[in-house]
Structure 1
């Protein structure tokens, strides 16, 4: 098989998946997809093996193959026709949470099925107890919204309008639902066009052969990377800070057994499934495992089915990482997924610390506000996840105010929030002194304060690392914890210690979320004083912290480094 042609076709398939994503983003109606890009797109073989995925959201790496396989059980390739499309969002089939709606379409070439196109998009409302469908106090999935089993959304190119009407009748924002569904159909159509062009150019038989070889190539890369790691058993345990119903610590325990060119990931000993909505389906857990191993073993491996072949994952049924129906799951994507990734990275750091970052902000920090828009009289639903500090690594600082690990969405611009919703952004920015100190500094957390302008609104906010700060590596200090607070118009205030809140806010009330910073890497006393000075100039580190933690002394009244005083201070700190 010609390696040049192989790479050309691989890149063409990757480009097609990326084009699908751009089509979805540009034609979507809701800001959550259009501006935040909370979606993913991919192409599959006819039998459901992922062959190319757009670089959108790592969490969907494991979720979308789970969805496609489940749909093929209900609709085998032989039962699908040109122009068909299947819709699904049931987490106990798809592996995600209810707002993530997946649309899958068979791709035909001259009457013969040749591939599948799929996309997954987070809709701003799918019903349930609160606007945004993300209650932190839900105790069963029925409180989280409408569940859609695998069902045909289109048949032979004709939209099943009765089904769309049924679903739209059960969500608070039907206009946005209808617009985003049309965008999802358009995204798959873009993938179909590109697949047909490739089949025209190379012939369908040859294209399928190269698709199979691309999958084999990724498996070879993953096996080679695993073989390069020291064999052994590596264990790590991390904790969630409650499930939204209780504030009890919830453990996630993982044991990685690396043997030759394969690895077994065992979550035995992880907490049983809980009452609150942080239970992670097996699909979510698989996504976290695949992401963590790819990031550490070989980040350049093409994302497809092949890279998962050397990986065995054990998830005890009835546990936090493989719950039984009808456990609530909405915030597993938000919090549990990030903690599974942290646990995986903590274990991998024992095998190869130079390849692993310190713990990051530790949550996608979900923030939803919804109610009746005074200007239209219709429901609105503001949905966003907030970035924080990235953990530092062995040779560079963590990034500030970004999403890390399992998510890759963007922050919604202030102008978009205030244009679409009756909300006022009172404050938005990076938080100084939140990145964990180290030779390489952890990234800074961020904050956003939002004031309610409408008559009243329902809010649901969920974050983590409020009580247990993101850990550092090799002597690096932990990042600062997150904080969630509500300031009421009447003058009262409330600090939400658990980081999880569901309640009603009145006009004039404000809610502020401060996300956690990332952990540091290496001793703070080894950080280049010039880098500390730069951090102070950029207001990411205070002058006091520079002196007390990093041991960098500035000449009086200036930000010029006092070299001799710095050496003396660092010597005293190192002895202590």
Structure 2
């Protein structure tokens, strides 16, 4: 792809073609994953996501999958690169589900694979999928009585994928056959992503032009933020204290102060409650995901979702709070409950800055249902939808 305009940039048409081709690769990864998966949770509910990253770990493109997966995935990829980036080789894959290493909750397992063309590392393919059971104190690996992450299931730091690691995971699940099939599907999805990205580069796309995709996302989002008048707005909401050890009369407070200054926007969660005794706690990566969702939803719905589109966005989440929990606290409900309320708080604050562009609040919960017995687990969410918009229904 050689259509270069002024300043050495790709011309607009060539850039859009490149973005579409890259996004198509991520979408194909997701389709392969769903088609090959064993569990209904991934095959039918499509509780999985896929994305491509540059060689340095910057988000390049993502498919239209799960926002809470995709917003947090860059932190897991960064954790893998920090440990293994210098020694990664063609054919390698790495696995991680640690919520405190860019994960969300233990159920969400991420596989990351490097893409080489010859000896050159040109990027990474990654996907994240929700596994219905990874051990812990109750079927589904999100026990409501948990007070520590150790009670929620198997915690996997970034490690190289191998048959031995797979066997370790299977030995800690109530549904090992499903887990084997889903993990194999994730492995295969990354293999497709790596192959397609390598084909793109060997077919004539200069690796340096991938950075232009990210630069374009940044230019578009900075322009969108700059169009908002400078100002500050604050929004506060509460959520029921449903975790073990929580005082039911003491709802958890989530507070967000949004400040727009020029072409940057800051989300400051100072004043949010300390992390709770139970599992209603979100790790920072989950909070970043919710912020990314709100920003893209309100300020840049047509801006490509990549590292550049979040460059103008700053997130301040004080460690040890309900929006940036620290180990060893339980976090199972942070991904599925706190994330929803954080998104609503962000949208509420943005409504004070761009009135008329923000819809009503959502249901604020994923309504998770977990049932299981001897050798089986079923996971479902009863969706409630998004609130109505100024110009149409939700």
TM-score normalised to the size of structure 2? 0.95
Tell me if 1:392 matches 2:391: no
Q: Tell me which residue corresponds to 1:54.
A: 63
Q: Distance in 2 between matches of 1:118 and 1:258?
A: 32
Q: Could you report, residue by residue, the CA deviation over 1:20-43 in whole angstroms, capped at 9, with x for unpaired residues?
A: 000000000000000000000000
Larger RCO (alpha carbons 8 Å, 6+ apart): 2
Superposed counterparts of 1:516-535, under 5 Å: none
Cα root mean square deviation, aligned: 1.0
Q: Tell me which residue corresponds to 2:142.
A: 134
Q: Which one of 300, 303, 310 corresponds to residue 301 of structure 1? A: 303
Residues 389 and 13 (structure 1 numbering): CA distance in 2 closer, same or farther, change over 3 Å? closer
The unaligned stretches of length 5 or more in structure 2 are 1-8
Q: Which one of 10, 26, 36 corresponds to residue 45 of structure 2? A: 36
Q: Distance in 2 between matches of 1:222 and 1:396?
A: 24
Q: Kindly state the Cα deviation for residue 102 of structure 1 after the two structures are TM-superposed.
A: 0.3
Q: Distance in 2 between matches of 1:243 and 1:42?
A: 34
Q: Distance in 2 between matches of 1:224 and 1:61?
A: 23
Q: Tell me which residue corresponds to 1:181.
A: 183
Q: Tell me which residue corresponds to 1:163.
A: 165
Tell me if 1:45 matches 2:54: yes
Answer yes or no: is the 8 Å Cα contact 1:38–1:57 preserved in 2: yes
Q: Distance in 2 between matches of 1:390 and 1:97?
A: 23
Q: Could you report, residue by residue, the CA deviation over 1:445-483 in whole angstroms, capped at 9, with x for unpaired residues?
A: xxxxxxxxxxxxxxxxxxxxxxxxxxxxxxxxxxxxxxx
Q: Kindly state the Cα deviation for residue 94 of structure 1 after the two structures are TM-superposed.
A: 2.2
Q: Kindly state the Cα deviation for residue 307 of structure 1 after the two structures are TM-superposed.
A: 0.9
Give the SS at the match of 2:154.
coil
Answer yes or no: is the 8 Å Cα contact 2:280–2:332 preserved in 1: yes
As a proportion of its length, which structure holds more helix?
2
Q: Distance in 2 between matches of 1:161 and 1:197?
A: 28
Q: Kindly state the Cα deviation for residue 293 of structure 1 after the two structures are TM-superposed.
A: 0.9
Give the SS at the match of 1:251.
strand
Q: Tell me which residue corresponds to 2:158.
A: 150
Give the SS at the match of 1:269.
coil
Superposed counterparts of 1:208-227, under 5 Å: 208-227=207-226
Q: Distance in 1 between matches of 2:385 and 2:113?
A: 38
Answer yes or no: is the 8 Å Cα contact 1:95–1:282 preserved in 2: no
TM-score normalised to the size of structure 1? 0.65
Give runs of ≥4 in structure 1 deviating > 3 Å. none
Q: Could you report, residue by residue, the CA deviation over 1:528-570 in whole angstroms, capped at 9, with x for unpaired residues?
A: xxxxxxxxxxxxxxxxxxxxxxxxxxxxxxxxxxxxxxxxxxx
Q: Kindly state the Cα deviation for residue 117 of structure 1 after the two structures are TM-superposed.
A: 0.2
Q: Kindly state the Cα deviation for residue 200 of structure 1 after the two structures are TM-superposed.
A: 2.1
Give the SS at the match of 2:376.
strand
The structure with the largest alpha-carbon Rg is: 1
Q: Which one of 270, 288, 312 corresponds to residue 310 of structure 1? A: 312
Q: Tell me which residue corresponds to 1:462.
A: none
Q: Could you report, residue by residue, the CA deviation over 1:112-171 in whole angstroms, capped at 9, with x for unpaired residues?
A: 211100000000100000001011121000110011111111xxxxxx222211111111
Q: Tell me which residue corresponds to 2:131.
A: 123
Q: Kindly state the Cα deviation for residue 111 of structure 1 after the two structures are TM-superposed.
A: 2.9
Q: Distance in 1 between matches of 2:163 and 2:74?
A: 27
Q: Distance in 2 between matches of 1:20 and 1:72?
A: 21
